[in-house]
Amino acid sequence: MVRVSRTTLLPIYRLYSEALRQAGATFATCKEGLLDLHTAPDCCGVYLLREGAVRYTLYDLYRYATEGSARIPLPLDYAVVREVCRRFSRLYLEELAEYPRAISKGLRYHERKLLKVLHSVGILEHVALAMLKVLDLGATG
């Protein structure tokens, strides 16, 4: 598999983001992790649905921090997660008991992966560099 470097892609995505903003459309990336270029409330278009249960993402944490001039503490304080989920109408681990196992299993898996990524500066540098700007890494050493 060949991947184009972020250095090459960044100027292209900046142009896309600006052109779409001018056209009145939203823009978001997913695996590219260019959170600071997003103009959409989420990266998968779920905000366009009328109803649904949605898991929280790195982008929700990023939005929470940048919109409120807050820092995301590491290790992650679950009170922050609850606040993020409440603000953006997202599900979090404590609420998953209400859902059938077939649904909650995948959501729990997603949350474990998200927390693993969030607690690794090395992984964040590759998948969501902008997150490093909003994290309070003081508590992790």
The per-residue pLDDT for 104 is 83
Its pTM stands at 0.72
For the chain (length 141 residues), average pLDDT per consecutive 10? Answer: 82 92 90 85 74 82 91 86 90 80 85 87 87 79 48
Residue 96 and residue 104 in contact, taking contact as beta carbons nearer than 8 Å:
yes
d(CA 57, CA 47): 13
The per-residue pLDDT for 139 is 53
